[in-house]
């Protein structure tokens, strides 16, 4: 199979916001307890945080981490998680039918963020609570002192404010499953009033309103239009979520699903533009795609389990075992965000540890990297800079999820400071090697640095604590540069990173 692409130095989509490589941690299953926090573990630091997990997170260079939910936040009282731990109440989480010990709250998680080298993206509860509780949390986190909530933070051991810049106004409020679910008008009103109050405290805060939970919601895309009609002037981002599944075990259909993501972003971008025009506004709103991942391996079984169990504390929940096939889909998702750098400014893989996550821990034992850790790592490490437009001519196929799907998926990033280009390329074809030629217009002195490959002959190959390196990146001799063109040989069913010095 042969394919061609053209990348031009001057044809830029936009600067990639580093926060596109963000993540998410929720009080869900073992994400927090025995995930990032496990006092008594051999690798635990003085605060109870697992150093082995922190090391893996720091390797990913996660710029921002969303917390504490997720569905959890819509019935969460943040005050339960502050002060002396022995005085904190044990509460029930209605979202996942579990006990919450509240050993980790805002102060502990902020400390973990500092240790892990990530900034805090904090969600407020607009489900069971509202504006006043959000105002109190903001004051607790960001005010220097001399008021009720800021003085309480100082009393609890943190003198300097956390200065959280990025705030989510609730979570998935369009979803009937959400505690405190609202209509678009109801939610738009409370989001707007909460945003007004928060910006009265600090007009430089960046606020994220809830968009659709996925593009198959019956209220999509009218939800976006109605919500923004109420709060456009006072928010900065619109949140979108999407998870990818392969229940049919249909490889090519699974690899076509990122096309739905592409159209989802395009549609919501159009809605944003419509509301902007309707309001005669000069202000731009961007997309925060703050939940995304592959999620289906244990989803149905988990759904049955948590509906029937008796409120356990930190149970195993949503602990997906990712395979090599998932690497290719995650690679295409990340490429889609890169290609929409002009619209998508924040994205958070959901989640980071144990629950639908690239990192898994054993209670009291080892931690290891799932297969999907690696495309996320490579994109975060080498996908920062300017997103370049890619003109692609490649064979295509039709699938149930989408028609006219290219077998080759490409994103290009120009790092002007490092004087490099990164080509992220997925060959989806199940059987055929691809010969991809990329013309590098405006980069006459390009030369190859390396070709990194993720490939395995078995689509269902997985990593585990006992065999952590079954699927991982390796150097490949599959590319050469000749006269301003890159000639790439791509294995069938492969994820590739071609790095060039320019």
Q: What are the tokens at 91?
A: 């509460």
Radius of gyration of the chain (CA): 23
- 79, 100, 230, 291: the catalytic one is 291
Query: 465: left (phi > 0), else alpha (psi -120 to 50), else beta?
Result: alpha
Q: What are the tokens at 279?
A: 């309001």
Q: What are the tokens at 104?
A: 């980790």
Cα 291 vs. chain centroid, distance in angstroms?
5
| Whole-angstrom distance, CA of residue 444 vs CA of residue 502 | 8
| Whole-angstrom distance, CA of residue 289 vs CA of residue 434 | 31
Q: What are the tokens at 140?
A: 């607790």
- 172, 224, 230, 325: the catalytic one is 172
Active site residue 291: yes
Active site residue 86: no
Q: What are the tokens at 447?
A: 């030369």
Secondary structure percentages of the chain, helix, strand, coil, to 5? 30, 30, 40
| Whole-angstrom distance, CA of residue 316 vs CA of residue 299 | 12
Q: SS3 for 301-317, per residue?
A: HHHHHHHHCCCCECCCC
The length of the chain, given as a count of residues: 502
| Whole-angstrom distance, CA of residue 466 vs CA of residue 365 | 12
Name the residue with tokens 């919501």: 268
- Annotated catalytic sites, by residue? 172, 291
């Amino acid at each position: 199979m042969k394919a061609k692409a053209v990348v031009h130095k001057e044809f830029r989509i936009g600067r990639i916001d580093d926060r596109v490589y963000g993540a998410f941690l929720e009080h869900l299953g073992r994400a927090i307890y025995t995930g990032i926090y496990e006092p008594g573990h051999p690798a635990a630091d003085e605060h109870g945080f697992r150093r082995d997990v922190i090391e893996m997170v720091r390797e990913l260079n996660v710029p921002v981490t969303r917390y504490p939910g997720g569905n959890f936040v819509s019935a969460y009282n943040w005050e339960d998680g502050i002060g002396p731990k022995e005085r904190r109440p044990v509460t029930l989480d209605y979202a996942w039918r579990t006990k919450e010990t509240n050993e980790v709250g805002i102060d502990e998680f902020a400390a973990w963020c500092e240790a892990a080298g990530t900034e805090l993206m904090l969600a407020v509860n607009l489900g069971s609570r509202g504006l006043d509780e959000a105002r109190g949390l903001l004051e607790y986190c960001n005010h220097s002192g001399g008021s009720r909530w800021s003085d309480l933070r100082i009393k609890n051991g943190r003198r300097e404010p956390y200065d959280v810049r990025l705030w989510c106004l609730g979570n998935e409020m369009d979803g009937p499953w959400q505690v405190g679910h609202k209509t678009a008008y109801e939610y738009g009103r409370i989001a707007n009033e909460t945003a007004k109050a928060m910006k009265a405290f600090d007009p430089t805060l960046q606020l994220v309103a809830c968009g659709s939970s996925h593009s198959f919601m019956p209220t999509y895309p009218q939800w976006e239009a109605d919500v923004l009609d109420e709060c456009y002037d006072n928010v900065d981002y619109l949140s979108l979520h999407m998870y990818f599944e392969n229940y049919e075990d249909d490889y090519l259909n699974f690899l076509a699903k990122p096309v739905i993501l592409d159209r989802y972003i395009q549609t919501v971008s159009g809605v944003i533009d419509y509301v902007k025009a309707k309001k005669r506004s000069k202000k731009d709103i961007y997309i925060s795609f703050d939940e995304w991942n592959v999620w289906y391996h244990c989803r149905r079984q988990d759904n049955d389990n948590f509906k029937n169990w008796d409120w356990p504390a930190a149970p195993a929940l949503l602990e997906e075992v990712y395979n090599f096939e998932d690497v290719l889909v995650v690679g295409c998702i990340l490429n889609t965000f890169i290609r929409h750098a002009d619209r998508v400014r924040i994205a958070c893989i959901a989640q980071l540890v144990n629950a639908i996550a690239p990192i898994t821990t054993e209670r009291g034992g080892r931690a290891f990297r799932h297969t999907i850790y690696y495309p996320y790592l490579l994109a975060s490490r080498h996908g920062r800079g300017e997103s370049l437009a890619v003109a692609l001519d490649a064979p295509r196929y039709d699938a149930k999820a989408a028609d006219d799907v290219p077998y080759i998926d490409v994103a290009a990033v120009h790092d002007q400071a490092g004087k490099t280009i990164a080509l992220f390329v997925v060959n989806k074809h199940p059987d055929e090697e691809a010969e991809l030629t990329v013309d590098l217009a405006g980069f006459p002195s390009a030369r190859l640095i390396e070709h990194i490959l993720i490939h395995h002959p078995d689509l269902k190959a997985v990593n585990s604590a006992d065999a952590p390196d079954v699927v991982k990146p390796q150097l490949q001799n599959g590319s050469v540069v000749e006269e301003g063109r890159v000639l790439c040989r791509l294995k069938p069913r492969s994820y590739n990173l071609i790095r060039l010095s320019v």
